[in-house]
C-alpha cells in the first residue's frame, strides 16, 4: 500500500499522484509586460500570467513557483536553487536567450527538464533573436503564442517531470 503524503492526491484506482513542482523563470524586461511593446508581446501583465499559472497548476496538480529578474546573476542563482526542489523548469530568458552562456551552464548543471518559452515567434524578428543559447539543451520550445505559450508549457510539464519509482 503506497504511503499517502501531504503532497499526494489520488485518482479512482487508488494510485498516488505526486504533486509536480514547476519553477517558472522570467528574464529581463518581462516585468514590463502589458505596457512593453504590446503589439509584439501582448497586453497581459506578468502578474496576470503568474496568477493564471498558479491557478492552472492547481487544476493540473502542479505546484507553480514563479520568479522574475532583470539580472543575469540572479537568474543563475535561482536556477541553481531549483536543484532538489523543482521537477521541471519553464524559462523565458528574454534577451539573455541570445547571449547567456551562464544561464545555459546553470540549466545544464541542475539537469532538470526545461521548456523554453517565448511570447513572440523570434524567427519572425531580427536575426540576432534567431540564435538561442539553450535551444539544444531544452526538451521543448514554445513560441509565438503570447501568454498562452506559458500555459501550454505548463500543461506539458507533468509529462516531463520524472515519474516516481
Do the Cβ atoms of 95 and 29 come closer than 8 Å?
yes
| Annotation says 41 is catalytic | yes
Q: Tell me the closest approach of the beta carbon of residue 35 to ligand DQA, in angstroms.
A: 14
Q: Tell me the closest approach of the beta carbon of residue 106 to ligand DQA, in angstroms.
A: 17
Q: What is the contact surface with ligand DQA in residues (CB under 6 A)? A: 29, 92, 94-95, 97, 118-120, 122, 129
The CA angle 40-154-158, to the nearest 5 degrees, is 160
Task: Please pick, among 67, 96, 118, 150, the residue that the annotation labels catalytic.
Answer: 118
Do the Cβ atoms of 40 and 120 come closer than 8 Å?
yes
Q: Which residues pair with 91 in a beta bridge?
A: 25, 116
| Annotation says 150 is catalytic | no
Task: Please pick, among 41, 96, 150, 151, the residue that the annotation labels catalytic.
Answer: 41
Q: Tell me the closest approach of the beta carbon of residue 82 to ligand DQA, in angstroms.
A: 19
Q: Which is nearer to ligand DQA, 14 or 126 (CB)?
A: 126
Q: Rounded to whole angstroms, how far apart are CA atoms 110 and 136?
A: 15
Specify the residue for cell string 505596457: 35
Catalytically active residues, by annotation: 41, 118
Amino acid at each position: 500500500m503506497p504511503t499517502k503524503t501531504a503532497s499526494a492526491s489520488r485518482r479512482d484506482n487508488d494510485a498516488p499522484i505526486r504533486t509536480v513542482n514547476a519553477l517558472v523563470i522570467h528574464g529581463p524586461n518581462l516585468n514590463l509586460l502589458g505596457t512593453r511593446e504590446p503589439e509584439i508581446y501582448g497586453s497581459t501583465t506578468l502578474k496576470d500570467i503568474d496568477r493564471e499559472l498558479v491557478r492552472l497548476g492547481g487544476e493540473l496538480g502542479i505546484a507553480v513557483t514563479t520568479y522574475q529578474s532583470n539580472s543575469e546573476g540572479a537568474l543563475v542563482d535561482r536556477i541553481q536553487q531549483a536543484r532538489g526542489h523543482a521537477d521541471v523548469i519553464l524559462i523565458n530568458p528574454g534577451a539573455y536567450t541570445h547571449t547567456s552562456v551562464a544561464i545555459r551552464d546553470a540549466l545544464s548543471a541542475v539537469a532538470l527538464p526545461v521548456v523554453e518559452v517565448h511570447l513572440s515567434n523570434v524567427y519572425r524578428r531580427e536575426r540576432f533573436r534567431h540564435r538561442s543559447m539553450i535551444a539544444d539543451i531544452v526538451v521543448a520550445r514554445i513560441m509565438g503564442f503570447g501568454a498562452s505559450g506559458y500555459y501550454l508549457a505548463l500543461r506539458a510539464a507533468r509529462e516531463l517531470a520524472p515519474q516516481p519509482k
